[in-house]
């Protein structure tokens, strides 16, 4: 057994935490992009597109993230695409994120009254112009707090990627535990790292929410 000091544990976890952050950021940004496309598809008025997106959301919200990662990880090689745990995790989390974000944003768009659509239509705007100039700017304002709030779920979701072998914070914790036989300390530190990443995001989301409510009054 090698001699691990607390400092070694923290240092190694910090190194691994970079991957947690990177995976979170990637999934959040890409997932946001996909989510936006899905949102467009869903609100544009084509009933089939609507149903499809609804099914997509239902699927990702109704199954475990772990299964989603497994299917990507084991499924893609079957159609000839070899994926590393990193790619599988990124892809799986992106899809997962997009489903949740599109659902959150749909709620925001729908909370913009029908009158806004009608008024902008009466000014001769087409769907894209309505979205671009009228709906999105308003929806964006109310969408920011829950979106920031959801980023916490993404960060926590990346822990599941450890199970398909992607070495991030949790996986590093397991590896260090196996070397040190100090699970209490190591997982305690792992939890602290996650908390340090997530808590500011939670606070920020709550702050934004409070500000929004203040403005609404």
Site for another protein, rule CB under 8 A = 59, 62-68, 70-71, 74-75, 78-79, 152, 155-160, 162-163, 170, 173-174, 177, 182-184, 186-188, 190-191, 194-195, 198-199, 202
120 Cβ contact list (under 8 Å, min separation 6): 129, 130, 133, 134, 135
Residue 47 or 62: the one with the smaller Cβ distance to another protein is 62
Measured in degrees and rounded to the nearest 5, phi and psi for residue 161 equal: -60, -20
Residue 91 or 135: the one with the smaller Cβ distance to another protein is 91
> Shortest gap between Cβ of 156 and another protein (angstroms)?
4
> Shortest gap between Cβ of 74 and another protein (angstroms)?
4
> Shortest gap between Cβ of 49 and another protein (angstroms)?
21
> Shortest gap between Cβ of 121 and another protein (angstroms)?
32
Say how far apart CA 158 and CA 175 lie, in whole Å. 17
Say how far apart CA 15 and CA 68 lie, in whole Å. 27
DSSP-derived letter for residue 163 is: G
Judged by phi (left if over 0) then psi (alpha if -120 to 50, else beta), residue 124 lies in left
The number of residues in the chain equals 217
Residue 127 or 187: the one with the smaller Cβ distance to another protein is 187
């Amino acid at each position: 057994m090698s001699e691990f000091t607390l400092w070694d544990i923290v240092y190694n976890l910090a190194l691994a935490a970079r991957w947690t952050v990177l995976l979170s950021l990637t999934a959040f940004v890409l997932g946001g992009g996909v989510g936006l496309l899905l949102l467009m598809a869903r609100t544009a008025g084509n009933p089939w597109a609507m149903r499809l997106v609804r099914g997509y959301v239902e699927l990702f919200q109704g199954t475990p993230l772990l299964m989603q990662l497994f299917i990507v990880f084991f499924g893609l090689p079957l159609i000839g695409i070899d994926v590393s745990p990193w790619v599988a995790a990124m892809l799986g989390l992106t899809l997962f994120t997009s489903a949740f974000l599109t659902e959150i944003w749909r709620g925001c768009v729908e909370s913009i009254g029908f009158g806004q659509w009608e008024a902008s239509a009466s000014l001769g705007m087409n769907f894209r112009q309505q979205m671009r100039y009228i709906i999105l700017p308003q929806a964006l304002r109310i969408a920011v707090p829950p979106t920031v709030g959801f980023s916490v779920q993404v960060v926590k979701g990346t822990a599941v990627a450890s199970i398909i072998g992607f070495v991030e914070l949790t996986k590093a914790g397991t590896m260090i535990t196996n070397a040190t036989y100090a699970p209490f300390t190591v997982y305690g530190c792992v939890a602290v790292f996650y908390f340090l990443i997530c808590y500011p995001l939670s606070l920020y989301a709550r702050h934004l929410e409070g500000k929004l409510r203040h403005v609404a009054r």
